[in-house]
Structure 1
Amino acid sequence: MSQRDGDLAAGAHPEEGDRHAVRMDGSDDELDQPTSKATEHITAMDVRKGKDMQGIPWNVMPTTRDKYRQSRLQGYANFENVPNSGRLSEKECMPAEKGQLYYEFQHSTRSVKPTIRHFQLRNLVWATTRHDVYLMSNFSVLHWSAMTYKKQEVINLQGHVTPCEKHHRNHYEGFYQTPVSTLAVKHNLLVTGGFHGEIICKFLDRQGVSYCCKTTNDDDGITNSLEIFEKPSGSLHFLASNNDCGLRDFDMEKFRICNHFHFAWPVNVSLQCLLNFQFSI
């Protein structure tokens, strides 16, 4: 974990002049242009006609797309814990051939903008299907459909959020104005993790919030990542990786922590593989 991870966990936020910080509205100062009907949605036909995929009007910008990209690549300082790890990996990776078709653009929109409080936060945008996207926008989790081009608020965390179901050790007092550091959406379950170890669970087919808890009282208790998975038995679980050096396995049938693993380092991310092994970094 880098020093900047530690700063984030301690509650530090990017300074206004930090070029790595992402603005609260998810935009870039230099490229932030008012969204008009002409640039709100970009289709594959628009791109074939020469329009930018992101709707950026380069024809009225003081620089070109290629020059801006080159400037970003030269000015961005990547953070790494292992010195020269990026250069070593480049030697092992096969270079991609230019001119090949690696993806086919379909559609982009500027009608919804994700909120990312810091450039090291993880998984604040989730695509559960080819057409459904869940994202953080300020204090709201939104669902956006690529079929209807419509957005819908799933949960608003700006006010007082309390669980409406009775479960053992449910935090019935709830949370107020919870800043979200990570989220996960899978198997009809939405889980958000907070900067101070807050966990909020909502089933997408139920009204209200099902479960709230605070995983830790540690000052470095930020939730780094969440992983929802099904056990071989079919029971629904999720893993919460925290900066307090803990990895917690939640059973969502019994709404309780069934395993708590301790490490000698802050846990950034944990994954459940098909062989029922857990990997933590």
Structure 2
Amino acid sequence: MPLCFSLHSKVTDISSAQARKGVDIQGIPWNRSSITREKYRQTTLEQYKNYENIPNSGEASENVCKPTEKGGMYYDFQHNTRSVKSTIHHFQLRNLVWATSKHDVYLMSHYSVLHWSALTCDKFEVMDVSGHVAPCEKHPGSLLEGFSRTQVSTLAVKDKLLVVGGFQGELICKYLDREGISFCCRTTYDDNAITNAVEIYDSPSGAVHFMASNNDCGVRDFNMENFQLCKHFRFQWPVNHASLSPDGKLLVIVGDNPKGLLVDACTGKTIHALHGHLDYSFASAWNPDGCTFATGNQDKTCRVWDVRNLSKSMAVLRGNLGAIRSIRFTSDGQFMAMAEPADFVHIFDVRSGYNRQQELDFFGEISGMSFSPDTEALFVGVWDRNYGSLLQYSRLRGYSYLDSLL
């Protein structure tokens, strides 16, 4: 439910110093409202309607979830800026925020891809997709006529490469250290061809690749060294997310089926089916250890799996409101974050066996979240009519492995 408090003065950012003095991290003036924050939170918990493709999946999953201890403090609130408005185009796809350092984050704001610097508090438009976007170079398979008014469904940034996916199967690639668009293609001309997710990775040869997951039941792998489609795997249902293992040998595939798949990344052949979820999945991620991975589902759960025993998941973690639509591990593998559609991000201590968690509690739809590569920062995009913003959290370094045993 949207926050309807009126703003009588100019909206300003909120700092950690202000938060320590009791100011709401989103600047919500609870003292000028007839309702308390606690009461408003209780109302959202009672009234929020989780979207399900399979009826009652969220209720049915409740009795198999792992109890966890809340109250961990791993990331501390640092800053909230309303200078950038993080927005959403598709209610099920929430991968629209990406950090490339503890100071630099990229996000969607309506039809603009923005870069935000937490160091200078400046924003810069990287790409405007409201008008005509076309490549500046000719490559095989690149559509020189480009696209107009692209509705962005997903994005990914790694090093200097930005890849944007659209509602009509569009893929737009831009190197951030170069002028112009490098590559444009349409994965398919099917009517229902949304690009649901993109993942950029470095191949063993050193070439930069990216994978695109689509509603046309396909996963496509592009080599950005020569701008060529080099693999195209087809499945029996729309693929909402695919994640490549750290060694590049395995792929986790989830989509419009309660069953997930672990497949060979070279051939696309299924190695093992993943049974346990009760609805469609829209998120997946690998722990950097290469042995465990997680999947997020509309049944309100995140399941953690171990490739050494896939007969059942090793943990079933539950949110408060709804589907788990985004999952991220820190690069050191110590923490895993899972985001609900709104209001909550949960950060689990991996080394405690997912027994302890920190709960980030705010108000608004979540457009995406991203740890910085050095694990020092966590950014969360919040979409709300009045309080849309970008939240920044900083890692607390006083925490040790011994704390996870207490």
Shift of 1:120: 1.1
Amino acid at match of 1:205: D
- Give the SS at the match of 2:221: strand
Tell me the distance in 2 between the aligned counterparts of 1:54 and 1:85: 29
- Give the SS at the match of 2:34: coil
Please list every run of at least 4 consecutive aligned residues from structure 1 whose deviation after the TM superposition is greater than 6 angstroms.
none
Shift of 1:275: 2.4
Unaligned runs of 5+ in 1: 1-18, 20-27
Aligned position for 1:95: 68
Cα 1:154–1:34 change in 2 (3 A) is farther
Q: What are the Cα deviations for residues 120-156 of structure 1, in whole angstroms up to 9, with x where unaligned?
A: 1221111222111111111110000111011000011
TM-score if structure 2 supplies the norm length? 0.59
Tell me the distance in 2 between the aligned counterparts of 1:238 and 1:34: 46
Aligned position for 2:253: 280
Alignment size in residue pairs: 252
Tell me the distance in 2 between the aligned counterparts of 1:209 and 1:140: 14
Q: Which protein has greater RCO, CA pairs closer than 8 Å, 6+ apart?
A: 2
* Equivalent position to 1:131, from 103, 113, 125: 103
| Correspondence 1:182-193 to 2 at 5 A | 182-193=154-165
Tell me the distance in 1 between the aligned counterparts of 2:151 and 2:133: 12
- Is the 1:133–1:144 contact (alpha carbons within 8 Å) kept by the matching residues of 2? yes
Greater Cα shift, 122-131 or 228-237: 122-131
| Correspondence 1:148-167 to 2 at 5 A | 148-167=120-139
Indicate whether 1:40 and 2:42 are aligned.
no
Indicate whether 1:107 and 2:79 are aligned.
yes
Indicate whether 1:69 and 2:41 are aligned.
yes
Q: What are the Cα deviations for residues 61-105 of structure 1, in whole angstroms up to 9, with x where unaligned?
A: 23111111111111112234565456646644232233x423211
| Correspondence 1:98-247 to 2 at 5 A | 98=71, 100-247=72-219
Identity of aligned residues (%): 54
- Is the 1:122–1:224 contact (alpha carbons within 8 Å) kept by the matching residues of 2? no
Larger fraction in helix? 1
Tell me the distance in 2 between the aligned counterparts of 1:253 and 1:34: 52
Aligned position for 1:5: none
- Give the SS at the match of 1:239: strand
Tell me the distance in 2 between the aligned counterparts of 1:198 and 1:274: 27
Tell me the distance in 2 between the aligned counterparts of 1:118 and 1:33: 28
Q: What are the Cα deviations for residues 40-80 of structure 1, in whole angstroms up to 9, with x where unaligned?
A: 21111100111000111111123111111111111112234
Shift of 1:217: 0.5
Aligned position for 1:4: none
Q: What are the Cα deviations for residues 180-206 of structure 1, in whole angstroms up to 9, with x where unaligned?
A: 111111121101111000110000000
TM-score if structure 1 supplies the norm length? 0.84
Aligned position for 1:23: none
Larger fraction in strand? 2
Aligned position for 1:22: none
Q: What are the Cα deviations for residues 227-269 of structure 1, in whole angstroms up to 9, with x where unaligned?
A: 0111111111111000011110011111011000111000000
Tell me the distance in 2 between the aligned counterparts of 1:215 and 1:55: 42
Cα 1:260–1:159 change in 2 (3 A) is same
Amino acid at match of 1:233: S
